[in-house]
Amino acid sequence: MSLPPPSTPRSRFPAIVWGYFWLTISASADEGIEGRTILAAPSRMAVIRGTVWLTATLVMVVINVKTPPLATTVGASLFVAATVTTAMSYWMCERALRPSVVELLTKNPPTTPRGAGLRLRAVSAWVVGTGVPRLFLMLVAASALVVDYLRDRLAWVVLTFGTGAIASGLTVAAFTAATTADPIDEVRRGMQHVERGDYDVSVPVFDASELGLLQAGFNTMAVGLRERERLRDLFGRNVGRDVARLAEESGSMDGAQTEMGGANCEVAVLFVDVVGSTALAAFAARTRRDTQRLLRGGGRRRRTAQGLCEQVRG
C-alpha cells in the first residue's frame, strides 16, 4: 500500500489563498457579517480540526475493537492529540488574524465581551495541558488492572506519555499566557506614555474578550485626557497659567464652583471731572498740533495730581 505524496508548498498555496480570500473578501457589503466572520474564524478552525481528529479517533477504535488493549491505547493517544491540536490551531489562528482583528475593532470597539473569555481560556488550558494527560494515565492504570502488562512495558508507556504530556502542557500554557499577557503589555506601555505626559497614545485592540474591553477602555481614557489637556491649555491661554493653576488647585472634588475672590486691599480713588469737555473736544479735533499741545498739557496736570496724591498719602 503506497502512501500519498506529502503536500508541497505549491499544493497548499491554493488553500491558503482561498482561506485568505474567504476571510477578507465578503460576498456582501455588510461589515457586520465581515466582523463576525473574522472573530469567529478561530472557533471555526478549532471545530473543524476537532471534528476531523475525533472522527479519526472513532475510526481507529472501531478498526481495533477486537483488540481491546490496542484500541484503548490508540484511542486515548489520538484523543490527546486531538485536544492539543485543536487548542493549538485556535490560538495560532487567533494570532495569525490579529492584524485583521485590530483593523476591525479599531473601527468598532467592543462594548461587550465576545469569544473565549479569560475563564474559558484558563479552563481550556487546564483541560488540555493537565486534565487530558491525567485522564490518559488513569486509563493506563485501569488497563493494567485488567491486562497483565510487563513491568518494563508499563514503565516505558508511562514515561513516554508523561514526557509528551509535560511538553504539550508547557506549550499550551505558554500560548495561553501569551494570549493573555499581550493585551496587558500593550496597555502597560500605553500607561507609561501617559505617565510621561504623552496623551496622544492609543493601543491596538486585537481581542474581543474582557482584555479587548480593557484596551478599548484605555483608548477612551486617553481621549478624555487629551480633551482635558486641550481645555486646560485653552483656559490657561485666556486667563493666564497662574490663574488656571489656582482655579484647578482650589477646585473642590464635589463639583462646586471655584470662588475666585481675589484679595482685599485699601485703595484711594481720585475722580477728575473735565470742565468744558465739549469745547475741549472741538478744540482737539481741529489740527494735529492742537491735539499734541493738549496732551502735553494733560501730562503736566497728571504729574501735578500725582504729587498732590503723594502729599495726601504722606
Q: Residues 186, 215: contact at Cβ < 8 Å?
A: yes
- Cα–Cα distances in Å, from 213 out to 117, 204, 230, 240, 264? 11, 11, 26, 39, 52
Please tell me whether the overall predicted TM-score, pTM, comes out greater than 0.85 for this model.
no
Confidence class for position 6, pLDDT limits 50, 70, 90: very low
Phi-psi region of 255 (alpha: psi -120 to 50; beta: other; left: phi over 0): left
> In the predicted model, is pLDDT for residue 18 greater than 60?
no
Task: Convert the pLDDT of each residue in 69-100 to its tens digit.
Answer: 778 778 877 887 888 788 878 878 887 887 88
Nearest-angstrom CA–CA distance, 250 and 258: 7
Mean pLDDT of the chain: 72
Nearest-angstrom CA–CA distance, 148 and 273: 125
Task: Convert the pLDDT of each residue in 110-155 to its tens digit.
Answer: 777 776 777 888 888 888 878 887 877 787 777 777 777 777 777 8
